Amino acid sequence: MIKRLLWLPVVLIGSAAVLGCSKQPEEDSCNIKTGGIYVEYKVTESNNTATARATFWVGDAPGGTYLTLGSCGDDIKVNGQVLRHESGADHDYYESTVPVAGSYEFVFTRTDEAPYSSTVSTPPAINITAPAAGASISRADSFDITWDNNSSGQINLLIDGDCIKDFPSVNGENIADTGSYTVNAGGIEPFVSSDADKTCTANISLERSTNGALDPSLKGTIKGYSGAGRSFTSTP
């Protein structure tokens, strides 16, 4: 089964054929005017590390035909650092680890055009205080998840594992960012009925997000994320 972790790095298999799918159509950015490009920028901070990513698409929304930056002078940097071209399972993107900073400036450069500058900051860092790492918790018991309450609004919670269903829902769910959340007894369910008596490692992921300021001449989104994780043992 394939599970998504919101904040953990994802190890990608190089061949899309291995995954049973093919890449989205692609285009060279040199063939597309700036008005026909849609950008997705994001920075994620976790464990005192920052990862910046940029994805480029043709049109007015993500998906469909993606862009690779061609040899005509197109370039993407974050705080002066060039992002590396990476090949994903279904589309390419540009990503690098960058020094943690108070704000992050994405600069998209094209020949004979003024640089396009977009900025974003990340939300306050998350520090999970309970449960203890490696704790053994029965699915028949309730337990509390607690974290430093240094924000407001919403935070995304996901608990997943090989023998359990995603909790509170598939790929997580936004909850109140109050610093505490109670998982009720029986709230975490076996993935399938045959997993009812199994024990496995479960992963708690918490993630905050915020919007940045996209260059007014660009179409797209720019977001900052902070995340934290904690593993425990889920028992019957």
Q: Which of 122, 151, 166 is the last residue of a domain?
A: 122
Is there a domain that residue 2 lies in? no
Same domain, yes or no, for 94 and 141?
no
Kindly provide the b/e burial profile for residues 206-233, where b requires at least 16 CB atoms within 10 angstroms of the residue's own CB: bbbbbebebbeebbbbbbbbbbbbbebe
pLDDT tens digits for 212-236?
999 999 999 999 999 999 999 999 9
191: pLDDT strictly greater than 80:
yes
Residue 200 pLDDT level (bands cut at 50, 70, 90): very high
Q: Which domain holds residue 87?
A: 16-122
Residue 150 is predicted with a pLDDT of 76
Average confidence (pLDDT) over 125-143: 97
Q: What percent of the chain has pLDDT above 90?
A: 82
Same domain, yes or no, for 117 and 135?
no
When the pLDDT of each residue in the chain is averaged and rounded to a whole number, the result is 90
Same domain, yes or no, for 90 and 153?
no
Q: Which of 138, 72, 85 is nearest to 111 (CA)?
A: 72
21: pLDDT strictly greater than 60:
no
Residue 89 is predicted with a pLDDT of 79
